Amino acid sequence: MASHPYYPVNLSLPHYNPMEHTPMQILTGMFGTFGIILITSYLLIRKREKSFGTQLQFLWFVLCAAVHLGIEGYYVVNHLSLAGDTSFMGDLWKEYSKSDSRYLSNDSFVLIMESITAAGWGPLSILIAYLIYTQNAKRHLPIVLVSLGQIYGDVLYYLTTLYEGAPHGDPHPYYFYFYFVTMNAFWIVFPSITLYSSSKAILQSLAQTQAKEKTN
């Protein structure tokens, strides 16, 4: 009989310690922190940018920076001891791992994917937010890069476990559809929008440059 709540039930987690925070405490703390970050960011950007779409992009990349560096960065640094970690961040990851225990079992794909996300997309998200805040058109290229990376990583993340029949998650709909599907779907939906927007801006700029060259 497994001494932990994770799947598959025969998963070996010899250093596992039970959570000291309830799921409600974890979700309230996480979403409350996100709310503070987004409200503060909105108060900053609304004074400089009138376009609602651009404001949303700024908020999105500020949130990406917080998630990639703060939450996913914590996983990368502490992945070996995460199952026994009873801090708030440790319990956050243990709660999420009910939908995907690969985060507690030192899975090589998850570790590499999250390392790239934290070390690459995290700092670049800060850069993008700064470029948006300063109304710098150079933001579009890193937006395309980060958005493509987020979509690619998320698709691989989904498919590598779904291909196996999703053996790493609790089959209860709450964990599968809310934690695994919905929480990760944001990093497909929003990057698709930002990818389209910045790609369109780049192509329009190239078309204008070519038109000017033809008239000279």
Residue 49: CB atoms within 10 A of its CB come to: 16
Quick one: pLDDT at residue 1? 41
Contact 37, 62 (CB under 8 A): yes
Q: Is residue 16 part of a domain?
A: no
What does the H/E/C string look like for 74-108? HHHHHCCCHHHCCCHHHHHHHHHCCCCHHHCCCCH
| pLDDT tens, residue order, the chain (216 aa) | 458 999 999 999 999 999 999 999 999 999 999 999 999 999 999 989 889 999 999 999 999 999 999 999 999 999 999 999 999 999 999 999 999 999 999 999 999 999 999 999 999 999 999 999 999 999 999 999 999 999 999 999 999 999 999 999 999 999 999 999 999 999 999 999 999 999 999 999 888 878 777 776
Cα torsion at 147, 153, 158, 161 (round to 10°)?
180
At 132, which amino acid appears? Answer: I
Q: Is residue 211 part of a domain?
A: no
Q: Is residue 13 part of a domain?
A: no
Provide the domain count of the chain.
Answer: 1
Domain that holds residue 148: 23-203
Q: Is residue 10 part of a domain?
A: no
Q: Is residue 214 part of a domain?
A: no
Q: Is residue 1 part of a domain?
A: no
177 three-state secondary structure: helix
Distance between CA atoms of residues 6 and 18, nearest Å: 11
Q: Is residue 94 part of a domain?
A: yes
Q: Is residue 15 part of a domain?
A: no
Quick one: pLDDT at residue 2? 58
- The two structure tokens encoding residue 41: 């960011």
Distance between CA atoms of residues 100 and 89, nearest Å: 16
Query: For residue 53, which of 204, 169, 196, 161 has the smallest C-alpha distance?
Result: 196
Show the DSSP H helices in the chain as ranges. Answer: 23-45, 52-65, 73-78, 88-96, 108-116, 122-133, 140-162, 173, 183-215
